[in-house]
Amino acid sequence: MFKPLILILMGGVLINNYVLQQFLGICPFLGVSKKINQAVGMGVAVTFVMLVATAATWPIYNYILFPKYAYLQTIVFILVIATLVQFVEIVLKRFIPSLFKALGVYLPLITTNCAVLGVAINNISDGFNFVESIVSSLGVGLGFLLAMVLFAGVRSRMENIKTLKSFQGLPVTLIAASIVALSFYGFSGVIEGLLA
């Protein structure tokens, strides 16, 4: 019973890694991966928002929009996700100020992160049920966290190398990101083999 769930989870982390395989959420991936603790903060925040967003959007789609008004999903999802993020921010500020401070500016930034909308829409187009959707968004979130942490490590090494002037800054960062993404192709097919 748990095997398909584990497959979905590991698939989200390694095989269908949103950042490195599907190229969603590149903006925070490049923007907030300079320091490893910031990268972890952003990754945890995204994972959390993905979980909450999936828990809210799945019922809305399946009980209100489906099947007649399915075309409304994008606009409704964006609305719901933005509200949720704001709501979470208000609640955190009141009850867990330390966590609010740690997440800082990342929390409102996640509102417009396409990876969050992507996971909500993909869960529905993959035909997952509620539990599978939650597990899938957890996996995707953890995959995002993994990619952020890995890349923060790569970037901290990159600060110490000498680069051609024309490659300094973003160009060399993108090249490094593509090499990290390439390494993730090695995971295709590994998970099914491990659990077989």
Partner 1 sequence: MDMKILIPVLIGLTISVICGVVLTVASRLFAVKEDEKFLNIRDCLPGANCGACGYSGCDGYAKALSSGEIDATNLCVPGGDGAAKQIADVLGVEAEDVIEKVAYVACNGNCDAAPRKVEYHGPQSCRIANMNYNGDKFCTFSCLGYGDCVAVCSQDAISIENGVAKVDPEKCVGCGACTRVCPNKVIHIVDAASRVKVLCSNHDKGAVTRKACANGCIACGKCERTCPNGAIKVEHNLAVIDYEKCTGCGECAEACPIKCIELKNF
Q: Least CB distance from residue 123 to partner 1, whole Å?
A: 19
Q: Residues 31, 123, 3, 183: is their CA dihedral positive or negative?
A: negative
Helix (H, G, I), strand (E, B) or coil at 14: helix
Dihedrals phi, psi of 103, to nearest 5 degrees: -75, -35
Q: Least CB distance from residue 86 to partner 1, whole Å?
A: 6
How far apart, in whole angstroms, are the C-alpha atoms of residue 133 and residue 51?
9
Interface pattern 50-89 for partner 1 (x via CB under 8 A): ----------x---xx--xx--x--xx--xx-xx--xx--
Q: In the window 8-47, what residues touch partner 1 (CB under 8 A)?
A: none
Q: Least CB distance from residue 137 to partner 1, whole Å?
A: 20
Dihedrals phi, psi of 87, to nearest 5 degrees: -65, -45
Neighbours of 170 (CB within 10 A): 10
Instruction: Categorise residue 127: left if φ over 0, alpha if ψ from -120 to 50, beta otherwise.
Output: left
Q: Least CB distance from residue 95 to partner 1, whole Å?
A: 8
Q: In the window 115-144, what residues touch partner 1 (CB under 8 A)?
A: none
Residue reference for tokens 């490049």 = 30
Interface pattern 85-114 for partner 1 (x via CB under 8 A): -xx--xx-xxx-x-----------------
Of the pair 79, 179, the CB lying nearest partner 1 is at 79
Contacts of 42 (CB under 8 A, 6+ apart): 28, 32, 106, 148
Residues binding partner 1: number (CB under 8 A): 20
**Interface with partner 1 by CB under 8 A: which residues?**
60, 64-65, 68-69, 72, 75-76, 79-80, 82-83, 86-87, 90-91, 93-95, 97
